[in-house]
Amino acid sequence: METLIKELEAYKRALSSEEKLQLSNSVLDKLYAVYPFNKFEYTISHLIAKGIITLDGYLEMRAEYLQRNKYLHLFELAPRTFGETWGQQHLMEHVPEFKIPTKSLDPSYSGEYDLLLNDIHVEVKASRAVKKIGGDTLANKALASDSKSRFDMNYQQLKPGCCDAFVWIAVWRDKIDYWVLSSKDVQNNPLLSNQHRASQLSETGAVVEGQIHINNGNYADFEKYRVQLRDIYTKVLEIGKKK
C-alpha cells in the first residue's frame, strides 16, 4: 500500500493547484466510500481523466500492485476461518498425502491434532504478519516480507504432547513462510510460554498448552525450521521416523 500511495503522489504532482486540491488528503479522508469505490479508485479515475495516467500505465500499476499483495486477501479472513479452515486446506491441496484424521484411521483420535500423515500426528498453525500497532484492520496493517516495521505473529494453543510435528504458516502480503518443527522442538523452545495464566504445567514442569511469539527480534532464530512448500511432506516424514 505504501508503494501505491507514493506512486499516486508522484502522479499528482503533474496536476494544477486546483486539481491537487480535489485530491488532497482532507478531501479524500472525508470521501464516503463503499466497496469497491474508495479513495484510490477516486484518485486513479481523476488522474486517468486528466491524462496523467494512461490506460497502459494503469494496467502496469495494477499488475505490480497485485504481485506485491498477492496474499493480501488472506488478511481479510476471520481468525478461525484463516487458521483452521484455510491453513489446513492449503496444506492438503499441496500435500495430498495429508489426511483428515478419523476414528477409522486412528482409533484413539479425539480431536487433539489436525492432520494425519501415515501414523504421524500433525498440528497446523497459521499466523499473519501485521504492524504491531493498535486499531485498524488486519488488511491495513498487513506487512510485506521486506518491511522494517515492528511485527508480531503469535502461534498459540500449542500442545506438544498431542502431536508429533507442527507445520507453521506465516503469511505476508507478498509471500508465505513455512516452518516444520517436531513436538520436542516446540516443547524445548525457550520462547514457549503458558497460553493462559491459570494453565497448569505437567508433572515434569513442561508447558501443556502454550504460545510462541515470533517478531523482529527472533524471526531469524526460526530459519533452521524453514522449508519450501514442496518439502513439507519429506520433513514431516523425517520427524515421524524419530518419534
* C-alpha count within 13 angstroms, C-beta hemisphere, residue 186: 33
Q: What is the mean pLDDT of each run of 10 residues along the chain (243 residues)?
A: 80 83 83 76 91 92 89 92 92 96 94 95 96 84 92 93 96 96 96 70 65 94 97 97 83
136: helix, strand or coil:
coil
pLDDT tens track for 146-190: 999 999 899 999 999 999 999 999 999 999 999 999 999 999 999
**53 closest CA partner among 23, 33, 18:** 23
β-strand 115-117 against 120-128: which pairing, if any?
antiparallel
Between CA 100 and CA 92 the distance in angstroms is: 9
pLDDT tens track for 106-123: 999 999 999 999 999 999
102: helix, strand or coil:
coil
